[in-house]
């Protein structure tokens, strides 16, 4: 099947592509992508839940986010790593941090508000990024003056986790230089926590929890480093794009804005429906393991690339009634924007807590906004504004 992720101005998300995919079948071969495209809700869940037949190992994300990260580990080690952090990032723990996150959101939005009141048009994406940096730095106990490391990563990663970077290109060199800067920071943080533990202190940030686990259950120093890297930055770009999609949804429809402003209890449903309707990670990759597999009547060879279309699955009419209609009151199937099964996103609750706090602060700070321009870049593989310029009405 002829297929690509090229973005065409004015098109945003090409829902017509999803309709073609669904009409062609749940699993089709793409000569252009040199891989299998899996687009139905059920088939996507099958691939994501079956780590005996499908793996992230050998995909671009494995190279970029650490080869020993939990994201690419299909063994029991994956569960041991997740267990280190699971309670600290659970629903209850995030609920306790709501006021903290709300404070970060208000602080970052205040500067944007002042500039807009002075007549400026402001790009909100750097504002979202600063907000996420505050959450990362507080969660991992990173000094805020070192957040430039995350800024550098964000500027150079672009769509790399989704589709990779061209080998030998300038973009690849910039990307891996930014990656190394993050690992250098992690090395410092790990050394600091070890020294503090040795001195009798009991730090309890997310770095410290993983450092304390080193040496138990086979957790090595390299596993510690890769997983701190994985967790710190795995959702940086996707979070800011999700926030951009949410703001575009809210301020592009006065009825939605009025409904959420009147009832903050709708914020959770709003952000989930935005993730379904405009899924950020439109595709993630897997490779076929073993001697090959059969899926939905198609025979896949060992090593074949599998393009798991989360966005298409979230528009599958077999799973969602009237899938191309935005419905804030949906209560049916869970969307697949954060994955599914074995490698379901560990940071899901952090991301949702961030989004809820940000939406609350945005509607509080800006009863009305005019979206002047939303730049989605050159690809919709990772969907969301790279620049979102707004002004006060």
Residue 166 has pLDDT above 80, yes or no: no
Looking at 59-73, 181-195, 230-244, 296-310, which range is the least confident one?
59-73
Nearest one of 337, 315, 311, 341 to 326, comparing CA atoms: 315
Give domain status of residue 363, yes or no: yes
Give domain status of residue 4, yes or no: no
Residue 164 has pLDDT above 70, yes or no: no
pLDDT score for 380: 87
Stated length of the chain: 393
User: Is pLDDT larger for residue 351 or for residue 159?
Assistant: 351
Nearest one of 41, 48, 39, 34 to 17, comparing CA atoms: 39
pLDDT score for 165: 54
pLDDT digits (tens, 9 = 90+) for 98-108: 999 999 999 99
pLDDT score for 66: 72
Give domain status of residue 7, yes or no: no
Count of domains observed in the chain: 1
Residue 38 has pLDDT above 70, yes or no: yes
- Give me the chain's average pLDDT, please: 91
pLDDT digits (tens, 9 = 90+) for 364-390: 999 999 999 999 988 888 899 999 999
Give domain status of residue 302, yes or no: yes
pLDDT digits (tens, 9 = 90+) for 81-97: 999 999 999 999 999 99
Spell out a b/e string for 73-84, using b for 16 or more CB atoms within 10 Å of the CB, else e: bbeebbebbbeb
Give domain status of residue 1, yes or no: no
Domain that holds residue 319: 15-391
Please spell the DSSP secondary structure of 265-333, one letter per residue. Answer: GGHHHHHHHHHHHT-SB-EEEEEE-TT-EEETTEEE-TT-EEEEEHHHHTT-TTTSSSTTS--TT--SS
Give domain status of residue 6, yes or no: no
Give domain status of residue 328, yes or no: yes
Residue 167 has pLDDT above 70, yes or no: no
Q: Give the residue carrying structure tokens 């002829």.
A: 2
Give domain status of residue 10, yes or no: no
% of the chain surpassing 70 pLDDT: 95
pLDDT score for 332: 64
The CATH number for 128's domain is 1.10.630.10
């Amino acid at each position: 099947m002829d297929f690509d992720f090229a973005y065409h101005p004015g098109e945003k998300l090409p829902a017509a592509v999803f309709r073609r995919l669904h009409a062609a079948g749940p699993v089709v071969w793409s000569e252009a992508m040199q891989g299998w495209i899996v687009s139905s809700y059920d088939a996507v869940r099958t691939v994501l839940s079956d780590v005996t037949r499908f793996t992230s190992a050998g995909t671009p994300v494995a190279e970029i986010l650490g080869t020993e990260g939990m994201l690419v580990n299909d063994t029991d080690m994956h569960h041991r790593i997740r267990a280190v952090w699971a309670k600290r990032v659970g629903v209850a723990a995030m609920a306790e941090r709501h006021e903290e996150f709300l404070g970060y959101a208000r602080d970052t939005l205040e500067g944007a508000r002042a500039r807009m009141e002075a007549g400026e048009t402001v790009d909100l994406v750097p504002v979202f990024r600063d907000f996420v940096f505050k959450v990362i730095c507080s969660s991992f106990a990173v000094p805020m003056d070192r957040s430039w490391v995350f800024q550098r990563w964000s500027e150079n990663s672009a769509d790399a986790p989704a589709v990779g970077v061209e080998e030998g290109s300038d973009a690849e060199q910039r990307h891996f230089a930014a990656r190394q800067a993050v690992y250098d920071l992690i090395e410092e943080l790990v050394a600091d926590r070890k020294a503090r533990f040795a001195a009798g202190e009991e730090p309890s940030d997310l770095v410290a929890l993983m450092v304390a686990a080193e040496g138990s259950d086979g957790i090595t120093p390299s596993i510690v480093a890769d997983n701190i890297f994985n967790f710190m930055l795995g959702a940086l770009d996707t979070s800011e794009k999700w926030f951009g999609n949410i703001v575009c949804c809210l301020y592009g429809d006065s009825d939605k804005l009025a409904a959420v402003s009147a009832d903050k209890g709708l914020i959770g449903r709003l952000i989930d429906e935005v993730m379904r309707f405009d899924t950020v990670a439109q595709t993630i990759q897997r490779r076929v393991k073993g001697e090959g597999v059969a899926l939905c009547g198609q025979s896949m060879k060992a090593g074949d690339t599998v393009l798991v279309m989360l966005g298409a699955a979230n528009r599958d009419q077999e799973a969602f009634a009237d899938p191309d209609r935005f419905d804030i009151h949906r209560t049916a199937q869970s969307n697949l924007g954060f994955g599914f099964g074995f490698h379901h996103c560990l940071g899901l609750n952090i991301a949702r807590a961030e989004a809820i706090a940000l939406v609350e602060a945005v509607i509080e700070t800006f009863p009305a906004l005019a979206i002047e321009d939303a730049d989605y870049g050159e690809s919709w593989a990772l969907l969301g504004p790279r620049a979102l310029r707004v002004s006060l009405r």
